[in-house]
Chains A and B, each alone.
Chain A
Amino acid sequence: MQRLLSSIYKELLVLIRDKAGLAILFIMPLVLILIMTVIQDATFRTVKEVNISMILVNNDKDSLGEAISEGLYASEFFQIVEEIDEKEITEEMAKELVAKGDYKLGIIIPERATDAIRGNVNALINKSFKSFNIAGVKKRTKKSTIDVTIFIDPATSQSFKNMVMSSLKEFTSQLEIEMFFKNFSEALTQLMPDQKPIKFESFETIKYKEVYASTTNDEILPNSVQHNVPAWTMFAMFFIVLPLAGNIIKERDDGSAFRLKTMPGSFITVMFSKIFVFLSVSFLQFILMLLVGVYIMPTLGLPQLEIGPHKIALGVMAIASGLAATGYGVAIGTIATTHEQAATFGAVSIIIFAALGGIWVPVYVMPHAVKIISQFSPLHWGLNGFYDIFLRGGDLWVIAAEAGKLLIFFALMLFIAIVYNNYNKTK
């Protein structure tokens, strides 16, 4: 026990006296979490909160052009640009401006686009009232199509593009329905002169009510902070692998590890002391990151982090994640022969674990094969556990499986380090 305590004290002294290293260890994760949350906040905001510049060339100057224009202006999601230097933007200019990356999108509504819709609506009504031979109904039957061109900056995200397309289709459908209803009503009036024309009304009979599913009655609203703080906290905690592996390699390079190997009961004692100290550091990092979420983020205009009522579950997840990260660091530090190996492998493998774990892209949108692989990422387990607590209101029992996997990962890494250390003795 004295050996372990003395070893812990020594590790603490070494850590505390490396002021630059200590600053990096605590400041970098905080910077990371702040920057990533602020950046990713936009994707979580409602439509009205974001403003993206977009070109609109309305050559139609009729109902469709007006409907799209009004719809886009009304959405407040876009900053619509129709003129530059008091000159109307043409299709060629729009294409060039989008190609240069000055604008994300350019929508070109062609001439006579409304006529095309009108013609198709009339054709349909004509077909429906063919046997009644109504005078007002035009005799056109051929269906026509017209292209609304959308120039897209290749750097535009797929989800943003999909959202715009969906909005445009909605505006067009609305116009088609209104036109159809109007013409249908006129045709009916001709057929039944006593019948007053019917005005089109949108009933909105079906309303959509959003309820966030939770295992408890605690209603935690998902927002950028609730999503990003656990995700980037998990990511930052795993970066403890680098200083820990570096510490082990430095000890080996300095020759202290050689001396320790000739001393009684050293390897396990030394490793446990390192795990204890670096686990404490990662737990402190975790607490600091939570405090940033609760106190600093609201001052930057971000939502406040809601920790929820299950603080023991949160503590267990933090310790399990910290152990998984330190175990991984011990394994890398034991196996890697140089700082370069440890730093490169450690950093890249954490990024891979993070990508597979769903830190950037949710696991549910990944291809099937990747989804299977992601089940083996410790960052996936950690992230799921934290989401259970921060978003689903999960308690200790809910996170038990994820915490268990992280603890097994820790034990496995430690086992690998011990086996490798013993293997080295037989060289």
Chain B
Amino acid sequence: MQENNHIIELKYLTKYYKGSNVPAIDNISLNINKGEIYGLLGPNGAGKTTTISILCGLFGPTSGNVFIDGMEYQHSAEKIKNIIGVVPQDIALYPSLTAKENLTFFGHMYGLKGKHLKTRIEECLELFGLEKNANRRIKTFSGGMKRRINLIAGILHKPKIIYLDEPTVGVDVQSRNVILDHLRSINKEGTTIIYTSHYMEEAENFCSRVAIIDKGNILTEGKPKDLVNSKEEYIDLESIFLNITGRALRDE
């Protein structure tokens, strides 16, 4: 299995939620290589969150297998959790704690401690332009600042894989650029990034490969440029997305 460069392998993955006879994801298989920025794109209810949740170990699939760095959650959940970092779409922080207190707590939960943790927190806060706000409580932060701290909490322990669920939603252009620039630099250091977004332009520029999924199936997969060049009528990733998922409105 580890002869290849795949850090994540999904094999024939299917998930039915209890009480539903429609699969949230239906027999999907995909491989993500080490060092990739892989975009999972799709309309609401396509199966992105279900796939990410399974990759994070929140729950298991109904059938199929997930290999993370060659390990499976059934046997090595703790080891896998040590090498992944999750940046949820919600601001998953404690509003009454300061930025530093939040990061210290999450750092400790990842097993970081002492001077190493302190240095790492200072380094990250500086990197994301938040060093002056380290001792301010999160509830006093702007939306963009909260997003940046939310991101730092997921990358503090230098994970091998980062799952980013809509990391730039609701933030200003400046914050978005800071976030994406630093994610690129983290990626250059060898971290694999799995990313979901509704911003097609952002995904086209940011991802090395994307998969467009809908109704639990992968409709297309490849490098954004290759996908755009695959048909004459495709202008950009958004035109592909609309072409293959349709223009009908989607509910959650």
Smallest Cβ-Cβ distance to B79: which chain A residue: A264
- Count of chain B residues near A, Cβ 8 A: 33
With A6-B105, A264-B109 in contact, is A258–B92 under 8 Å at CB? yes
Which residues of A1-24 are within 8 A (CB) of B? 2-3, 5-7, 9-10, 13-14, 17-18
Smallest Cβ-Cβ distance to B154: which chain A residue: A259
Bound form: Cα–Cα A208–B17 in Å: 73
A209 adjacent to chain B (CB < 8 Å): no
| Contact yes or no, B90 A14, CB < 8 A | no
B96 adjacent to chain A (CB < 8 Å): yes
A265 adjacent to chain B (CB < 8 Å): yes
Contacts of A7 in B (CB 8 A): 105, 108-109
A192 adjacent to chain B (CB < 8 Å): no
Contacts of B93 in A (CB 8 A): 254, 256
Question: Which secondary structure characterizes the binding site on chain B?
Answer: loop
B206 adjacent to chain A (CB < 8 Å): no
A260 adjacent to chain B (CB < 8 Å): yes
| Contact yes or no, A254 B95, CB < 8 A | yes
B225 adjacent to chain A (CB < 8 Å): no
B88 touches which one: A10, A258, A263, A269 (CB < 8 A)? Answer: A258
Contacts of B78 in A (CB 8 A): 264-265
| Contact yes or no, B96 A262, CB < 8 A | no
Contacts of A10 in B (CB 8 A): 94, 97, 101, 105
With A14-B97, A254-B93, A264-B82 in contact, is A426–B109 under 8 Å at CB? no
| Contact yes or no, A424 B59, CB < 8 A | yes
Smallest Cβ-Cβ distance to B18: which chain A residue: A427
B14 adjacent to chain A (CB < 8 Å): no
Smallest Cβ-Cβ distance to A259: which chain B residue: B92
B246 adjacent to chain A (CB < 8 Å): no
Bound form: Cα–Cα A6–B106 in Å: 9
Contacts of B106 in A (CB 8 A): 259, 263
| Contact yes or no, B96 A18, CB < 8 A | yes
A426 touches which one: B59, B101, B154 (CB < 8 A)? Answer: B59
A266 adjacent to chain B (CB < 8 Å): yes
| Contact yes or no, A263 B109, CB < 8 A | yes
Bound form: Cα–Cα A266–B111 in Å: 11
Q: Mark A360-377, 1 if CB is under 8 A from B, else 0.
A: 000000000000000000
Distance to closest chain A CB from B43 (angstroms): 22
| Contact yes or no, A13 B109, CB < 8 A | no
With A10-B101, A264-B78 in contact, is A259–B153 under 8 Å at CB? yes
Distance to closest chain A CB from B94 (angstroms): 6
Smallest Cβ-Cβ distance to A253: which chain B residue: B90
With A425-B58, A427-B18 in contact, is A260–B109 under 8 Å at CB? yes
A266 touches which one: B17, B97, B109 (CB < 8 A)? Answer: B109
| Contact yes or no, A262 B81, CB < 8 A | yes
B64 adjacent to chain A (CB < 8 Å): no
A254 touches which one: B60, B82, B92 (CB < 8 A)? Answer: B92
Q: Mark B114-146, 1 if CB is under 8 A from A, else 0.
A: 000000000000000000000001000000000
A255 touches which one: B84, B92, B111 (CB < 8 A)? Answer: B92
A261 adjacent to chain B (CB < 8 Å): yes
| Contact yes or no, A425 B59, CB < 8 A | yes
| Contact yes or no, A258 B90, CB < 8 A | yes
Which residues of B16-75 are within 8 A (CB) of A? 17-18, 56-60
Bound form: Cα–Cα A262–B109 in Å: 10
Bound form: Cα–Cα A10–B97 in Å: 8
With A255-B92, A262-B81, A263-B81 in contact, is A427–B59 under 8 Å at CB? yes
| Contact yes or no, A427 B17, CB < 8 A | yes
Extra contacts besides A258-B92, A262-B86, A264-B110 (10): CB < 8 Å: A3-B111, A6-B108, A6-B109, A9-B105, A13-B101, A254-B91, A254-B94, A255-B88, A256-B94, A263-B110
| A positions within 8 Å CB-CB of B | 2-3, 5-7, 9-10, 13-14, 17-18, 254-256, 258-266, 269, 424-427
15 residue pairs of the A-B complex, CB under 8 angstroms, read A2-B111, A2-B113, A5-B108, A13-B94, A13-B96, A14-B96, A14-B97, A254-B93, A254-B94, A259-B86, A259-B88, A264-B111, A424-B59, A426-B59, A427-B18
Q: What are the 3 tightest A-B residue pairs by CB atom distance, in nearest-first order?
A: A255-B90, A6-B108, A255-B92
